[in-house]
Structure 1
């Protein structure tokens, strides 16, 4: 089992230098995906890739969305021979001191998706805090299960064989903010379980959000519509799995 870190990055420059510096302690290669950032941000990322020898920079020619950037990073990691990839967001929200715990859980369950389960402090925007529970409810319906404790945390360890198998056959997985939720549901449908680990989440004071109020809400609504219909098609299998578990 071999691990790397994947960081999707669209114009995040405020904390990324410090984040990459801190990640050096874990002695894991880092694949940072520049998702079509502006010229100044792209140049800064090039500087960081030259500064930190363990960082590989992969670039999109234009912005394709967080989900697309994560998928690019996972495919690149697989091409480099890694078996698992740790997703870390570029905005400094995640408590990276928990990386060792994520890896330990993954090593004990190599075919399982390992995900953070956020512990929020007072920095969390209230509308995000409450809105994510609406998504959780939809996911419980879509999986006929309460096994998925959190659907949106971007601090995860992906088993690459299982994940890329899904991405190969399911090419319509959301490329923007819907990705984190959709991939966890579809992996569950494919028989890939998720283990959750409580982890602190902090929203930096000067943090930048790329959530598009109209476009992403429409995309997320459409995603849940597709997933509900997908659940109905899989209803017998999901029900059988529920009783078997």
Structure 2
């Protein structure tokens, strides 16, 4: 088992230098995917990749969305011989001191997805806090299970073989913000369970969000529509799985 870190990044430069510096103690290669950032931001990312020997910058020529950036990072990690990739978002929200705990859980359950389960403080925007439960409810319907405790946290350890297998079979998967949710559901359908680790989440002051209010809400609605129909196709399989439990 070998681990690396994947960071999708679109124009996030506010805390990325501090974040990369803080990852040094883990002695893990870091693959940062520049998802078609502006010229100035992309140049700064290259400076950081030159500054930190353990950071490799992988570039998209144009913006493809967070999900596409994560997918690129996972494929790159696999091509470099890694078995697992730790996703860390570039906006500084995650408590990276929990990386060791995520990896320990992954080593104990190497074929499972290991995901953070956010513990929020007062910095969380209320509309984002409550909107998460809308998605949680739909995921419970789509999996016929309450096993998935959180659907949107971008702090995870992906088993690469299982995840890339699911991605290869679902080429039209969400590429933007809804990716985090869809991949968990499709992994569950494929028999890959998720183990959750409670972890603190902090929204940095002056942080930048790339959530597109109209486009991403429409994309999320369309994603849940597709997943509900996917659930109906898998209904006997999901019911049998539920009965066995």
After TM superposition, the structure 1 stretch with the greater mean CA deviation from structure 2, 150-159 or 163-172, is 163-172
Give the equivalent residue in structure 2 for 1:99.
99
RMSD of Structure 2 on Structure 1 (CA): 0.3
Aligned match of 2:66: 66
* Corresponding residue SS for 1:43: helix
Question: Residues of 1 paired with 2:125 and 2:66: CA distance?
Answer: 20
- How far the C-alpha of 1:78 sits from its partner, in A, is 0.2
2:30 corresponds in structure 1 to: 30
For residues 109-128 of structure 1, the C-alpha deviation after alignment (integer angstroms, 9 at most, x for no partner) is 00000000000000000000
* Offset, 1:243: 1.1
2:162 equivalent in structure 1? 162
Q: CA deviation at 1:206?
A: 1.0
Matches within 5 A, 1:214-229: 214-229=214-229
Which blocks of at least 5 consecutive residues in structure 1 are unaligned?
none
Following the alignment from structure 1 to structure 2, what is the Cα–Cα distance between the partners of residues 239 and 202? 38
Once residues 60 and 99 of structure 1 are traced to their aligned partners in structure 2, the CA distance between those partners, rounded to angstroms, is 26
Unpaired segments ≥5 residues, structure 2: none
- Tell me the TM-score normalised to structure 1 length: 1.00
User: In the aligned structure 2, how far is the partner of 1:115 from the partner of 1:49?
Assistant: 27
Partner of 2:172: 172
Query: What aligned pairs does 1:47-196 form with structure 2 within 5 A after superposition?
Result: 47-196=47-196
Segments ≥4 residues shifted beyond 3 Å: none
| Aligned-partner Cα distance in 2 for 1:139–1:168 | 21
Per-residue CA distance 1:172-228 (angstroms, 9 max, x = gap): 110000100000000000000000000000000110000000000000000000000
3-state SS in 1 of match to 2:214:
helix
Tell me how far apart the structure 2 counterparts of residues 167 and 140 of structure 1 sit (CA, whole Å). Answer: 21
1:46 aligns with 2:33: no
Aligned length: 245
Distance (Å, rounded) in 2 between the aligned partners of 1:4 and 1:116: 17
- Report the TM-score when normalising by structure 2: 1.00
CA distance in structure 2 between the partners assigned to 1:167 and 1:13 by the alignment:
29
Deviations 1:115-152 (A, max 9, x none): 00000000000000000001000000000000000000
Distance 2:132 2:190 in 1: 23
Local SS of the residue matching 1:62: coil
Compute the displacement of 1:57 (Å): 0.3
SS in 2 for 1:86: strand
Following TM superposition, by how much is the alpha carbon of 1:169 offset from its aligned partner in structure 2, in angstroms? 1.2
